[in-house]
Amino acid sequence: MLTATGSAITPQPHQAVARIANIDAVRGLAVLGIFFLNIFSMGISSYEYVPTVTATVGDSFGQALYYLLLRDRFITLFSILFGAGLYIQWQNFSAQGLDARAKVKSRLYWLMLFGLLHGLLLWPGDILLSYGLCGLLLWRYRQLPVAELLRKAQLFIAIGLLVMLLMALIPIEVSPMVRGSPEYMAEYRLWTGDYGVQLQQQLHTVVISLLVFPMTYLWILSGLMLLGIYLLRQGWFNGPVSRVGYLFWGSLLLSLLAYSCSYGHSQLLQNLALVIVVIAAIPMALWFLQLIVRYCGNQPQRLKSLQAVGRVALTLYILQSVVGVSLFRHIAPELLLTMDFMDYLLLAVIWSAIQLALARCYLHFFKQGPLEWLWRKLAYNQEGS
């Protein structure tokens, strides 16, 4: 199923790879899409969306969108891109006669530091630290033969899903959190009060996340990154492949199953919904990837604003946290008491439009984002590509 057309260009080892417009556009879609989920925990970071006692129309419609089109789709897509990007960096450094291993690992170490600071000081839902750890793990597998690479990716993803499934089967009943309840108001005061208290909570959250990460998302994210290397080597980022419509419909069917389970009366069904939706996210992410590749056609002038977002993805990812945390914890925390699901999505749409314009305008004057520049400067003093 995961094969490329004959017209696709497959990169060869130690052959430099020019900037791929398709990858920039797909990365732009991924970083914008991530905010549509992260926004729910930018205020009270202990939870995602907390409903009211009586669900609004916006809640009901938003919950459907959440399971059918949003949940895990864009983080999956971003993980696939991250793996492809690591492979391209290795190729380009090797083609220049540089120590690719040292260069890429330096880049990953600095990314992990950025992620740690991001999680501790700003928002504990950071993914950069996790990505750096996964990048170090999968580095040894980058040169595997294509068929073996795909098998390894599938194995890692299967291990992660199996662990999630076993955890979902643990009979722990959790009382649902409701907006306006005493428990919610206690969390509200905690996350919108003193910054020092917020730092303590973020430190606690980051430490717990690191402890459970090797048992959960480490395997899935690493598998998705290996899948990204496989797809790059098979030409998925350079040209369209045939028969990808089934990816969308297969994902939609799995998502409907997850959505049905999410309304189950038992905690087990609700836990299973989260496992199923992770599975459903993979074919949907691949469909999104091919949709952008087909429309962009690897042309710098197509989807130019989306490509611009992809070129300053790190800067915009951190800026999303700055804007979201500032709004919900400091500028207008009362929004956490009144907004329904669709209100959050509307804010995400507005901020996405702003990011599209901002990235396009910024790159009119500068060649790379400020954090991208700093990352390169620290990692390898701007040597290489």
Contacts of 159 (CB under 8 A, 6+ apart): 219, 223
Mean per-residue pLDDT, 283-310: 95
Mean per-residue pLDDT, 90-101: 89
- pLDDT over 80 at 209, yes or no: yes
Q: 62 vs 40, 68, 206, CA distance in Å?
A: 12, 10, 28
- pLDDT over 50 at 383, yes or no: no
Mean per-residue pLDDT, 195-201: 93
218 sits in the region (left: phi over 0; alpha: psi -120 to 50; else beta) called: alpha
Distance of CA 12 to the CA centre of its chain: 27
pTM across the whole model: 0.91
Mean per-residue pLDDT, 35-55: 89
DSSP secondary structure code for residue 276 in this structure: H
Query: The tokens of 331 are what?
Result: 């500028």
Mean per-residue pLDDT, 18-28: 92
Report yes or no: 230 and 153 within 8 Å, Cβ to Cβ: yes
Query: The tokens of 314 are what?
Result: 């790190």
- pLDDT at residue 14 in the model: 58
- Between CA 360 and CA 368, with CA 364 as vertex, the angle to 5 degrees is 85
Is residue 174 very low, low, confident or very high in pLDDT (cuts 50, 70, 90)? low
**Which of 366, 230, 368, 359 shows the shortest CA–CA distance to 306?**
359
- pLDDT over 70 at 260, yes or no: yes
Residue type for position 90: W
Mean per-residue pLDDT, 95-116: 93
- Write down how long the chain is: 385
Contacts of 55 (CB under 8 A, 6+ apart): none
